[in-house]
Structure 1
Amino acid sequence: MRHVIIATKNKGKAKEFEALFSALDVEILTLLDLDDAPDIEETGTSFEENATLKSEAIANMTGKIVIADDSGLVIDELDGRPGIFSARYAGEDKSDEANIDKVLFEMKDVPDEKRTARFFCSLAISGPSMKTIVVNGTCEGKILTERKGTNGFGYDPIFYALDARKSMAEMSSNEKNKISHRAEALHNLKPVIEEIF
């Protein structure tokens, strides 16, 4: 069995990767499976840079093929915020609820037609003696005025996905995995993975 390390300690993200990888003959490991996996500081100025920092650091440490993702919510009316700061938008504690509250507060007077947003995902794949490759994916939508649904994580309850006509948190995992930004990025990564293996 071939192994790929997903450079995350986020169980929600890991679950999405496992579901998205189920068609390939690859065993998924995460940073939770590694002893003493470091927290890689996200010092990049873009999703692509942060994903690359993480994938290269863990690949150098383990000598294995590593996929790192950096993703977040980009809101047009907020000049692209929360963007690369999505996980810590309301502070270093990484609270999904506090992040959602902050976005809802900042968007409270914004009319419906100006609530456009997208989830953006960069995936970087690195490994021994290979050049890092980065692919992206997006999911277009808009910001709701209140939470809807109880599935998912992060900003899912306030993100209305245009293709699905409901919030990300109102979808099953299967529905979300068909239209999410991560699904699109992983779809774009599949030919790369097939070539590597």
Structure 2
Amino acid sequence: MKLVFATHNQNKFNEVKLLLPKTIELLSLTDINCHEEIPETADTISGNAILKVEFIKDKYGLDCFADDTGLEVTSLNYEPGVYSARYAGEPSDSEANMKKLLEKLAGKKDRSACFKTVIALSYNEVDVLFEGLCEGTITKTKRGEKGFGYDPIFLPNGKIQTFAEMSLEEKSEIGHRGKAMRQLISYFS
């Protein structure tokens, strides 16, 4: 079976490929010659995942899935949420996003947060959504060199390492994207 993962983010692609069984051949947007940026103009995380899937279905007619992920910080009224990738403005910049988030959290006691991933799947003309959540807290400083996005400042509940200090396998085991992907995989079982 072949499935397109509608992302230009190589880190996400590698994380997802690691989780998929060998019976599923994962294709990237580059593999299908899609080099344009797919618009993410919805006001919800699930809405953005659906937009990406609809774009690939309409333009290429291929079975595909897409994800959108947001970090929701309780004391910031669940910011940055759907705007996580561009929290500090355009262009998307992880360092600037983390800096802005840490500045907004300065002096706040409640640093609880939740990573949320929604995966939209379109397969054999059926559309399905899967959601994965990972609760944690935002650290006061960046820790670790692995991962991407907010990983250096996100400490999952019950863990002593940030996502950026974990191996890809460890992160996938407990993380939001891994949880959503396991639902997708079980859909095909």
The answer to whether structure 1 residue 123 and structure 2 residue 119 are counterparts is yes
Does 1:146 find its partner at 2:144?
no
1:73 aligns with 71
Answer whether contact 1:63 1:127 (CA < 8 A) is retained: no
User: Helix, strand or coil for the counterpart of 2:30?
Assistant: helix
* 2:129 alignment partner in structure 1: 134
Question: By percentage of residues, which structure has more helix?
Answer: 1
| Secondary structure in 1 matching 2:188 | helix
Matches of 1:134 and 1:24, distance apart in 2: 22
* Larger deviation, residues 130-139 vs 152-161: 130-139
Question: Does the Cα contact within 8 Å between 1:59 and 1:65 map onto a contact in 2?
Answer: yes
Residue 40 of structure 1: how far off its partner (Å)? 2.0
SS of the residue corresponding to residue 166 of structure 1 reads coil
Deviation at 1:188, TM superposition (A): 1.5
Q: CA deviation at 1:131?
A: 2.7
Matched position secondary structure for 1:16: helix
Within 5 Å, give how 1:9-48 maps onto structure 2: 9-21=8-20, 23-48=21-46
Deviation, 1:37, is 3.9
User: Structure 2 length normalisation: TM-score?
Assistant: 0.95
- For these two proteins, the number of residue pairs brought into alignment is 189
TM-score, structure 1 normalization: 0.91
Given candidates 102, 105, 108, the residue that maps to 2:106 is: 108
Match of 1:8 in 2: 7
Cα deviation, 1:116-154, whole Å, max 9, x if unaligned, reads: 0011000000145x2311110001100000001110000
Structure 1 consecutive aligned stretches of length 4 or more whose deviation exceeds 4 Å: none
| Counterpart-to-counterpart distance in 2, 1:94 and 1:185 | 24
- How big is the shift at 1:191? 2.5
CA deviations 1:141-193 (Å, max 9, x no partner) are 00000001110000000000114332100101110110110001111112223
Alignment partners' CA distance in 2, 1:39 and 1:132: 22
CA RMSD of aligned residues (A): 1.3
Choose which of 178, 188, 191 in structure 1 pairs with 2:186.
Answer: 191
